Amino acid sequence: MVCLMAPRFDPASVTPLYEQAADYVAGQIERGELKAGQKLPAERILADEWGIAYQTVRRAMRELRERGLVVSRVGKGTFVASARQS
């Protein structure tokens, strides 16, 4: 499992917190800091480390799944998705 540094989120921003969190993880994936197949920390752990609500992290992970950047496996966790092939 990988450790994600605690980013600085701006609650006063017009961008919702869940989107800021999703963009943060997406940026790490795009920069190669998170590799395909790496397991992400549990949502509750991320919420505690990042200082944001658990439901906000859940929504961020849902956003990342919709973008195709992560996959969740019941009972296993959330992982960085494999690179898309064209």
Does CATH place domain 17-80 in 3.60.150.10?
no
For 23-41, the pLDDT digits (tens) are 999 999 999 999 999 999 9
Q: Which residues contact 53 (CB under 8 A, 6 or more apart)?
A: 17, 47
Give the pLDDT score at 77. Answer: 95
Phi, psi of 35 (to 5 degrees): -105, 155
What percent of the chain is predicted at pLDDT more than 90?
81
Q: Rounded to an integer, what distance in angstroms lies between the CA atom of residue 59 and that of residue 80? A: 16
Is the pTM higher than 0.85? The answer reads yes
Q: Do strands 77-80 and 70-73 pair parallel, antiparallel, or not at all (unpaired)?
A: antiparallel
Q: How far apart are CA 4 and CA 46, in angstroms?
A: 8
Of the two residues 8 and 61, the one the predictor is more confident about is: 61
Question: What angle in degrees, to the nearest 10, is found between the helix axes of 17-30 and 54-66?
Answer: 50
